[in-house]
């Protein structure tokens, strides 16, 4: 029952060019596939450090392809 | 072997045929005229909130392939509409083995248009768009004639226009439909926003398959209890299916969803048990021949028992002498070529899978290649903006299970002695563009 809404990382695969910074910044949640595109663990991020890394990855994606989405607002 | 399969269980399968959407004049008469349509079915009631409840009671699921509850999709658009939304009657039918949508539009355009107008009245849409593949000339002709008849008769309804698109496997995906009608290419888009949030012209958009709309036109007139007289609790009503491959009379059939695959195959004339069948088209599932006779069409039975779905209603029977591995490789290669080219995992993953499977098909691969294919299949799942990669690997994954015994011959140097021609209709050549 955390007061802060849970978030998870998601990539917009249309914008993503496989630059790969994200996998270096959040290796705990992202690895690159055989073609250099990020595979993201879709779990809700609870750990503070992990969330800080995730935010940094979002801010550093040169294609603006990475987003942190609120789990309630995921559209499902 | 054939005799064994045929004598298992009751000697004659329950009749599978239904006559609702395709009731009325003979097929040879072409499209049903407005006067005959109104005389046969009576005037259509006006849509509204009552229809939403009726659709909920009916249990109607979307016939584009996902079987999503129709009333829910409508409710999402209705609550955001405020009189400014768009309804799209989707007849683009990108699945190469399916012919049911364009056949329905060719024969019963007024049933489809009634359903689309009912949808517009119910969600509060200001416009209806009929979305067709450019190659479906007869369907286009029928809709254009039907629209003329309605105008001449002074039918009171929102404006209806036709938008056509180049044939592409994914041109009918709802966000691709929105993009094409907005003037762009028929390529899927990232969500959010989904079409029901922000679609054509920024307005909430309901993209609904034409067969679903035709069912709505009948449910509105006859009620949800009538609809449920056919089918099962979980899969009520009738549905259109396209039967092809190793059957005596390939074509489009309307079937009772309470039926079994064996009964459906009898309609089209079984030639022999066949090796296997592909249910649901290129995004579908291969099923072994011995499971077919008593396989229910019911969604829960198909899903829980076999990991399969009726999808868009295609049932393609592979003859015993044909090679399922070759056909599966051919399909995945086609789908790899049909990528919109937008998402890296789909572009590169399907390409790698297709290239390796092509070598497997021609028996130039080793067992390690199949291990890599399986690994790539796990890797690409869910990683496109649409379900294209997921669908492509669903078909291939089931082929590797159903044809597991024969797969060995492709990998250990024995080579495949089966026929390379599946007898399935070949996909149309796609245009270069996306419009």
Best of A18, A34, A70 to disrupt the B interface (most B CBs within 10 Å) is A34
Chain A residues in contact with B191 (beta carbon < 8 A): 75
Q: Which residue of B has its CA nearest to A13?
A: B343
* B260 has pLDDT over 80: yes
CA distance B53 to B24: 28
**By the CB < 8 Å criterion, does A64 face chain B?**
no
What is the pLDDT averaged over residues B209-220? 98
Report percent pLDDT > 90 for chain B.
91
Best of A13, A33, A36, A71 to disrupt the B interface (most B CBs within 10 Å) is A13
Check B379 against A34: CB less than 8 A apart.
yes
Q: Which residue of A has its CA nearest to B192?
A: A75
Q: Which residue of B has its CA nearest to A35?
A: B348
CB atoms within 10 A of CB A28: 13
Q: Which residue has the tokens 């309901």?
A: B206
What letter does residue B63 receive in the DSSP assignment?
A: T
**By the CB < 8 Å criterion, does A13 face chain B?**
yes
Check B192 against A36: CB less than 8 A apart.
no
* Closest Cβ–Cβ partner in A12, A16, A33 for B379: A33
B3-39 pLDDT, tens digit each: 434 444 444 555 799 999 999 999 999 999 999 999 9
CA distance B93 to B130: 12
Are the beta carbons of B317 and B311 closer than 8 angstroms?
no
Check B190 against A15: CB less than 8 A apart.
yes
- Grade residue B124 by pLDDT with cuts at 50, 70 and 90: very high
B53-98 pLDDT, tens digit each: 999 999 999 999 999 999 999 999 999 999 899 999 999 999 999 9
Chain A residues in contact with B73 (beta carbon < 8 A): none
Q: Say what the pLDDT of residue B14 is.
A: 59
Best of B188, B344, B378 to disrupt the A interface (most A CBs within 10 Å) is B344
Identify the H or E element spanning B286.
strand B285-288
Are the beta carbons of B335 and B94 closer than 8 angstroms?
no
Identify the H or E element spanning B87.
strand B86-91
Q: Say what the pLDDT of residue B1 is.
A: 37
Q: Say what the pLDDT of residue B429 is.
A: 81
Chain A residues in contact with B190 (beta carbon < 8 A): 12-15
Q: Where are the alpha helices (DSSP H) in B42-160?
A: 49-58, 70-81, 100-107, 109-123, 137-152
Check A37 against B192: CB less than 8 A apart.
no
B353-384 pLDDT, tens digit each: 999 999 999 999 999 999 999 999 999 999 99
Chain A residues in contact with B379 (beta carbon < 8 A): 33-34, 39
Q: Distance, in angstroms, between B290 CA and closest chain A CA?
A: 37
Q: Distance, in angstroms, between B288 CA and closest chain A CA?
A: 33
CA distance B301 to B312: 17
**By the CB < 8 Å criterion, does A16 face chain B?**
yes
Q: Say what the pLDDT of residue B348 is.
A: 98
Chain B residues in contact with A13 (beta carbon < 8 A): 190, 342-346, 383-385
What is the pLDDT averaged over residues B105-112? 98
Chain B residues in contact with A18 (beta carbon < 8 A): 344
* B419 has pLDDT over 90: no
Check B190 against A12: CB less than 8 A apart.
yes
CA nearest neighbour of B95 among B59, B129, B66: B66
Chain A residues in contact with B376 (beta carbon < 8 A): 34
Most distant CA atoms of chain B, gap in Å: 70
Are the beta carbons of B153 and B110 closer than 8 angstroms?
no
Q: Say what the pLDDT of residue B56 is.
A: 98
Q: Distance, in angstroms, between A8 CA and closest chain B CA?
A: 15
* Closest Cβ–Cβ partner in A13, A15, A75 for B345: A13
Check B349 against A18: CB less than 8 A apart.
no
Q: Distance, in angstroms, between B380 CA and closest chain A CA?
A: 9
What is the pLDDT averaged over residues B196-221? 98
Q: Say what the pLDDT of residue B169 is.
A: 96
Q: Say what the pLDDT of residue B273 is.
A: 67
B243-258 pLDDT, tens digit each: 999 999 999 999 999 9
Q: Which residue of B has its CA nearest to A75?
A: B192
Q: Which residue of B has its CA nearest to A69?
A: B192
Model ipTM value: 0.90
Q: Distance, in angstroms, between B74 CA and closest chain A CA?
A: 16
Q: Which residue of B has its CA nearest to A73?
A: B192
Are the beta carbons of B165 and B134 closer than 8 angstroms?
yes
Output the CA–CA distances (angstroms, integers) from residue B133 to B48, B186, B207, B231, B311, in the order listed: 30, 11, 15, 30, 19
- Extended strands (E) in B323-378: none
CA distance B358 to B370: 11
- Point out the residues of chain A with pLDDT beneath 70: 1-4, 73-76
Number of CB pairs < 8 Å for A and B? 45
CA distance B25 to B106: 12
């Amino acid at each position: 029952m955390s007061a802060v809404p849970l978030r998870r990382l998601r990539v917009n695969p249309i914008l993503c060019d496989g630059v790969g910074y994200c996998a270096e910044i959040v290796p705990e949640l992202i690895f690159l596939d055989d073609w250099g595109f990020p595979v993201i663990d879709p779990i809700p991020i609870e750990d503070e450090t992990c969330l800080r890394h995730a935010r940094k990855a979002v801010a550093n994606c040169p294609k603006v392809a990475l987003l942190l989405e609120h789990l309630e607002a995921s559209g499902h | 072997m054939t005799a064994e399969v045929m004598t298992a269980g009751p000697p004659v399968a329950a009749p599978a045929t239904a006559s609702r959407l395709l009731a009325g004049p003979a097929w040879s008469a072409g499209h049903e005229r407005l006067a005959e349509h109104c005389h046969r079915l009576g005037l259509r009631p006006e849509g509204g909130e009552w229809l939403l409840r009726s659709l909920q009671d009916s249990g109607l699921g979307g016939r584009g392939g996902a079987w999503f509850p129709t009333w829910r999709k409508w409710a999402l658009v209705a609550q955001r509409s405020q009189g400014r939304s768009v309804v799209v009657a989707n007849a683009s039918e990108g699945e190469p083995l399916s012919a049911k949508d364009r056949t329905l539009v060719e024969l019963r355009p007024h049933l489809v248009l009634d359903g689309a107008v009912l949808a517009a009245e119910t969600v509060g849409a200001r416009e209806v768009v009929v979305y067709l593949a450019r190659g479906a000339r007869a369907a286009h002709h029928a809709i254009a004639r039907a629209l003329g008849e309605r105008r001449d008769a002074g039918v009171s309804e929102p404006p209806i226009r036709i938008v056509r698109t180049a044939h592409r496997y994914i041109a009918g995906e709802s966000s691709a439909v929105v993009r094409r009608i907005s003037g762009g290419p028929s390529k899927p888009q990232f969500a959010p926003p989904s079409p029901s949030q922000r679609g054509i012209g920024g307005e909430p958009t309901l993209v609904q398959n034409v067969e679903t709309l035709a069912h709505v036109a009948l449910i509105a007139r006859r009620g949800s209890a009538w609809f449920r007289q056919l089918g099962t609790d979980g899969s009520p009503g009738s549905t259109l299916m396209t039967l092809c491959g190793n059957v005596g009379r390939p074509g489009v059939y309307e079937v009772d969803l309470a039926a079994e695959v064996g009964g459906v195959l009898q309609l089209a004339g079984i030639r022999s048990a066949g090796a296997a069948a592909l249910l649901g088209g290129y995004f579908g599932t291969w099923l072994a021949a011995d499971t077919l006779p008593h396989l229910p069409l019911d969604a829960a039975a198909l899903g829980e028992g076999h990991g399969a779905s009726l999808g868009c209603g295609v049932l393609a029977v592979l003859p015993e002498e044909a090679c399922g591995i070759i056909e599966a490789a051919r399909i995945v290669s086609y789908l790899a070529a049909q990528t919109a080219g937008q998402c890296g995992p789909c572009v590169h993953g399907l390409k790698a899978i297709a290239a390796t499977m092509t070598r497997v098909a021609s028996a130039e691969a080793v067992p390690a290649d199949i291990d890599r294919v399986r690994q790539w299949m796990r890797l690409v799942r869910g990683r496109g903006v649409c379900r294209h990669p997921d669908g492509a690997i669903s078909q291939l994954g089931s082929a590797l299970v159903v044809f597991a015994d024969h797969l060995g011959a492709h990998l250990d140097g024995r080579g495949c002695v089966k026929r390379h021609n599946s007898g399935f209709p070949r996909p149309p050549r796609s245009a270069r563009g996306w419009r």
